Amino acid sequence: MHRASVHIYGWLLLLPAAVLLAAFTHYPAIATLVHSLYSTPRGNRPERYVGLDHFADMLEDPIFWQSFHNNIIFALGTIPASIALALLMALWVNGKIAGRGALRMSYFTPTVLPMIAVANIWLFFYTPDYGLLDQFLKPLTGTAHNWLGTRSTALGALMAVTVWKEAGFFMIFYLAALQQIPPNLIEAAALEGADRVTIFRRVTFPLLMPTTLFVLVNAVINSFRLVDHVVVMTRGGPDNATSLLLFYIYQVAFRYLDTGYGAALTVVLLAILAVLALGQFFTLDRRVHYR
Amino acid sequence: MTGIVQERGLAHAFETLGAWLLALIWALPLVYAVWTAFHPGQYAAHFDLSAPLTLENFANAWEAAPFARYFLNSFLLVTSVLAGQLVLCTLAAYAFARFAFFGREVMFALVLVQLMIMPDVLIVENYRTMRWLGLVDTVLAIGLPYMASAFGIFLLRQTFKTVPTELDEAARVEGASFLGLLWRVYVPLAKPVYIAYGLVSVSYHWNNFLWPLIITNSVTTRPVTVGLSVFAMVDQGIDWSIITAATLLTAAPLLIAFLLFQRQFVQSFMRAGIR
């Protein structure tokens, strides 16, 4: 093939995808930075340069800090729990267990359901007095509890839904990895007299490390991205107790129509994702994610 | 020796019990939704095995909101996104796998940026772009930001790279063009990957919520997820049985597909991941 035509064909094939990627990923990321330095245009008042004013406002904005804090709690609470459960599920349904097919199906089904639909169902579980949870607990505690309407329990209630939704998804990756472990490794360890806990700690788990890292990266991204259930179940309430960063961005930009401040908030979220991406790039083996 | 065996047997029994208990908790929301949707309203929080079965909740839900239109919108959305993704990702992946063009490494790195920063996060700017393009409140606007999928490009590039170059050269000697080669050699060999990617993509976009919520504001463009949320929030007059019926309707296409193609679904998720 002629050498110039390699370049031409290569670029022509890439062009359609490159244009869309540039338009909806690279351009908006840069435009977010630019717009975060401008005020929100309103009516006959065009946008004007305000420098870092939005970021100064952010430092004083209790809802921003609350959302930031909530998001950290949300990530710290949901990620280890869903990964640990996923691993446990995978170990169970990979072994000889009664009703393996039914168990697999039960664990995995939440993954294919729309978050918005399951949020509706969970909403009912959490309804005070009348809801399923209170029907079980009220006879024991004697009082009705408004799970989603109380500051102390609302975020936890949403985290439970998230773990329930994600664990089965991560289970699949662990299951795939478990099936690739050569059985003679486990047999050899067993012959040497290692018990199951030791085998798991010294053989299985180290071999699952690449999968754990892959799942971890996915889980971290998701913890900053998934807000469907917040929109439906609590709308960030009560008193912003369940507001997460992306939800707050949505609220500011599309409810309060303050796009300038929304852009500044997005910059913070992008910065978090960039730090995570760099951390991933430098600390983890790149092959790990892209097997 | 028998002691150890007995102990193991007991431990195994406990594990089985634990596994089933967890499965029960995991299935509970769906089981509950099915119960409520198929029984009259007064049994929504009152479990009685003798309660009469009914399909009325589904009929009421179907009447209460334009679900037929929502389904059509969702269908148009997932098919157009998938079609766009398949074409764009195939062409780009082919370029990355087999053409050593100028700037390839840089472009590939730029593609991978999307794995971390997804369109889901860039809602403010993407809304601005859609308004500028005059596409706000169209089905196209829901799908467009997702059509050039970094994940799809990556997945197909990996697959295309495994195609032996001898095969490639043999076809070229016989006079096949580049696109003919792609169509007759590469695409057929990547069929399982296409199926896996297709399942993941369809379920992702059928379930997607925040961006469609923002970019649509009328019945003629809303997908079912947004339609369901609008329906459930409108007024307090609608009872739980009707909401759960509507919820099941929304989830039904994927749920049925999942029950029918369980094995393929699980395998495709194993192979693919998300997006």
Does B266 contact A259 at a Cβ distance shorter than 8 Å?
A: no
Does A135 contact B124 at a Cβ distance shorter than 8 Å?
A: no
Does A232 contact B117 at a Cβ distance shorter than 8 Å?
A: no
pLDDT of res. B7: 63
CB B94 within 8 A of CB B182: yes
A–B: how many Cβ contacts below 8 A? 262
pLDDT classification of B1: cutoffs 50, 70, 90: very low
Residues of B with CB below 8 A from A102's CB? 23
Classified as helix, coil or strand, B118 is coil
Nearest to B243 by CA among A120, A169, A194, A178: A120
For the cut 80, the answer to whether the pLDDT of residue B46 exceeds it is: no
The sign of the CA dihedral B221, B225, B229, B232 is positive
Structure tokens that stand for B52 in this block: 């009469």
CA A152 to chain B, closest CA, distance in angstroms equals 23
- Name the residue of chain A whose CA is nearest to B145's CA: A24
Give the pLDDT confidence of A219-229 residue by residue, as tens digits. 998 999 989 99
Classified as helix, coil or strand, B36 is helix
Q: Where are the beta strands (DSSP E) in chain B?
A: none
Give the pLDDT confidence of A158-168 residue by residue, as tens digits. 999 999 999 99
For the cut 70, the answer to whether the pLDDT of residue B3 exceeds it is: no
pLDDT of res. A5: 85
Q: Pick B89's closest partner by Cβ from A17, A105, A269.
A: A17
For the cut 70, the answer to whether the pLDDT of residue A288 exceeds it is: no
> What percentage of chain B exceeds 90 in pLDDT?
42
Structure tokens that stand for B133 in this block: 């393009």
CB B9 within 8 A of CB A93: no
Q: What are phi and psi of B87, to 5 degrees?
A: -65, -55
pLDDT classification of A2: cutoffs 50, 70, 90: low
**Mean pLDDT of the region A33-49:** 88
CB B258 within 8 A of CB A147: no
The sign of the CA dihedral A73, A75, A78, A81 is negative
Give the pLDDT confidence of B136-160 residue by residue, as tens digits. 999 999 999 999 999 999 989 988 9
Query: Which of A121, A125, A133, A247 is the best residue to mutate to test the B interface, defined by the most B CB atoms within 10 Å of its own CB?
Result: A121
CA B99 to chain A, closest CA, distance in angstroms equals 5
pLDDT of res. A291: 38
pLDDT classification of B64: cutoffs 50, 70, 90: confident
pLDDT classification of A80: cutoffs 50, 70, 90: very high
Q: What is the ipTM of this complex?
A: 0.88
Residues of A with CB below 8 A from B127's CB? 253-254
Predicted TM-score of the model (pTM): 0.90
Q: What are phi and psi of B53, to 5 degrees?
A: -85, 150
Does B209 contact A228 at a Cβ distance shorter than 8 Å?
A: yes
pLDDT classification of B163: cutoffs 50, 70, 90: confident
For the cut 50, the answer to whether the pLDDT of residue B226 exceeds it is: yes
Q: Is B64 exposed, middle or buried (0-12, 13-18, 19+ CB in 10 A)?
A: middle
For the cut 60, the answer to whether the pLDDT of residue B273 exceeds it is: no
Judged by a CB distance cut-off of 8 A, whether residue A172 touches chain B is yes
> B216 or A43: whose pLDDT is higher?
B216
For the cut 80, the answer to whether the pLDDT of residue B238 exceeds it is: no
Q: Pick B116's closest partner by Cβ from A99, A131, A277.
A: A277
> B2 or A80: whose pLDDT is higher?
A80
Query: Which of B12, B26, B142, B200 is the best residue to mutate to test the A interface, defined by the most A CB atoms within 10 Å of its own CB?
Result: B26
